[in-house]
Amino acid sequence: MQHCLSIVVCLFSISTELLTAAPVSSNRSDETIPRLKYEAVPDFFQLPAGENFVEVAARASNSKGNVYVFHRCKHRDLFVTAHTVRVDAEDNIWTTDVGAHVVLKLNPEGRVLLALGRMRIPGDDVLHFNQPTDVAFDREGNIYVADGEGNSRVLKFNKYGNLLLAWGMKGDGPGQFDLPHSIAINDDLVYVADRENARIQIFDLNGRYLREWKLGHPYGLFITPDHFIYMSDAIAGRILKIDRDGKIVGALSGPEPGKGRHFDPHEIAVDKDNSIFTAEVMPWRAQKFKPK
């Protein structure tokens, strides 16, 4: 597939200087958070000669182990400005595009199966998005879209793309958002990365506010089968591992200011073996970190 959704199952060179995994302090207290014991995998991602990643926005993989890296290269038709890529239980590929204002569902061969929003036409009604940032799915196949950069809301659609409900508005109160940047679902709970309000808000599947966690500036969320929530914070240059009660159980931290290139995890993904993959916009970089 020749769009900016690069299918990468081979390897690309990786800087090993980036991640030091030093202990960091919680912004909720002065306690020291245990460091997650990971190391960068050198030379994991490689691209064909003459090809490069450009502003890497997101990464996902399917059940067959194929890796999808969504980056902001020179695109032909489908994509304008890559933001996130997710893969559903049937190995369909979902992309959010903050430049085109659409969410696309593609089959593994790259054929568009469903389009939500209107191409290159922003708006705030039920037919339009304004820079949608992420997409998630519940066990019934319903689709949840974080319509975040331009609108501060979440919309829920059924599997056919029919709107079921919407919630949220600009603000800092419960159920309000200031740039809902990522969304993830664990059982019957919806986790929304309310980035500029520096919190993760938690809702039920009908959009009812339940609680929030103040953990820094959440950029990306990923939930593993054992119910841990991984959160990337590009401002702090770190990744947090969080349990179901909102307790930080570990952190990966980038180098201190002035001691290395800034760690910029825009979105993250965690594989079955607990390897962590990062997508970094500013360094134009995708990386893999494996447990030590």
DSSP per position, 207-224: --EEEEE--S---EEEE-
Query: CA-CA distance, 255 to 46, in Å (whole number)?
Result: 24
Q: What is the pLDDT of residue 64?
A: 93
Residue type for 17, please?
E
Sequence length of the chain is 292
For 69-108, write each residue's pLDDT tens digit: 999 987 778 999 999 999 999 999 999 999 999 999 999 9
Residue type for 19, please?
L
The answer, yes or no, to whether residue 266 has pLDDT greater than 70, is yes
Are 227 and 186 spatial neighbours (Cβ–Cβ below 8 Å)?
A: yes
What percent of the chain is modeled with pLDDT above 90? 81
Query: CA-CA distance, 153 to 147, in Å (whole number)?
Result: 5
Q: What is the pLDDT of residue 31?
A: 59
pLDDT band of residue 261 (cuts 50, 70, 90) is: confident
- Cα-Cα end-to-end distance for the chain: 34
Q: What is the pLDDT of residue 24?
A: 37
Q: What is the pLDDT of residue 154?
A: 98
Q: What is the pLDDT of residue 253?
A: 92
Q: What are phi and psi of 242, to 5 degrees?
A: -125, 140
Query: CA-CA distance, 184 to 79, in Å (whole number)?
Result: 23
Q: What are phi and psi of 196, to 5 degrees?
A: -75, -15
Select the more confidently predicted residue: 103 or 20.
Answer: 103
Count of helix runs (H) and strand runs (E) in the chain: 0, 25
Q: What are phi and psi of 158, to 5 degrees?
A: -80, 180
Read off the pTM. Answer: 0.90
Select the more confidently predicted residue: 30 or 150.
Answer: 150
- Calculate ∠ Cα 121-54-74, nearest 5°: 50
Residue 196, SS3 per DSSP: helix
Residue 81, Cβ density class (10 Å: 0-12 exposed, 13-18 middle, ≥19 buried): middle
Q: How far is CA 46 from CA 8, 11, 53, 207, 287, in A?
A: 8, 3, 10, 41, 11
Residue with tokens 């199952």: 9
